[in-house]
Homo-oligomer: A and B are copies of this chain.
């Protein structure tokens, strides 16, 4: 980066609050990349385990926040949505200078909590699209984000150095652990993941139930299409519920659209007019998806005139960002 408003951006320390699958794996990878990174977790057992694994973590939130403030760290909120409100209040009070980001899957709801806590001018939302069926520190692993998409939001972007610096620090952190940064506004993000992540779960659960109701004969003759179509119904129910219920508004609309497609297909089957509409459109759509060989790459120069419009254009193209 030739721009000199972020002289030491690769040296911004990172403070991770919450060391579950995402926060803990991020701690491992940033540490592995030689970044200064430290963390906090509510559970004493997790703290002990992470410490004995060689990481710089603590169970004392005020001390950790004081250290973050002192070192001008980027704070990563790694806790589930229900725990965010209290943590945002603590950050607002005890780390008034730090940039803040999160790693939860639904962005509009988090942005509301951030506004309420008064952190809007130094918060940049994030969603690393990575995970496994497991959770907690025991589930953490290195390389979890390598090649994954990390969506970073900019709907509360301002011209201030403070916000831009936070945005740059979040992008840098994501790229340090191998992720591809894709920009989006919160509501666009939530609508997109409703369609391509939460809706697939709802359809897989429904298909699993409908197949199972066919009894042993149906399950005995089931082959690849049923196996593929139900795979994610094997995900732990609490993870599926947390993900989908937190994105209720966008998911309801995606489900409604799908019900309408199925109703049209059902009517076409019942009156004998045939399935051309759905089948031709579905085949073309899957073809477009398969034909995507990676993502477009957009270069942006953070904080320069028009850069937010560039982020919007990159978002619309589903492009990956590079900072110049």
Contacts and interface: CB of A to CB of B under 8 A. Distances in A.
B221 A262 contact: no
Find the residue from A192, A219, A282, A288 having the highest chain B CB count within 10 A: A282
A207 interface: yes
Given A229-B232, A262-B258, A195 B220 contact: no
A128 to B, nearest CB: 11
A218 B195 contact: yes
A139 interface: no
Nearest to A255: B266
Contact of A225 (B201, B212, B266, B270): B201
A269 B251 contact: yes
Interface in A179-224: 182, 184, 188-189, 191-193, 195-197, 199-224
Copies in the complex: 2
Contacts of A182: 217, 220-221
A248 B269 contact: yes
Contacts of A281: 205, 208-209
Interface residues of A, number: 98
Interface in A297-324: 315-320
| Closest A-B pairs by Cβ, 8 of them | A220-B318, A205-B282, A216-B318, A212-B285, A233-B286, A200-B225, A196-B222, A208-B285
25 contacts: A182-B221, A192-B218, A195-B211, A201-B225, A202-B262, A204-B286, A206-B262, A208-B281, A209-B261, A210-B261, A212-B285, A215-B318, A217-B317, A221-B318, A225-B232, A229-B229, A230-B289, A234-B290, A241-B275, A245-B269, A245-B274, A248-B272, A251-B269, A252-B266, A259-B266
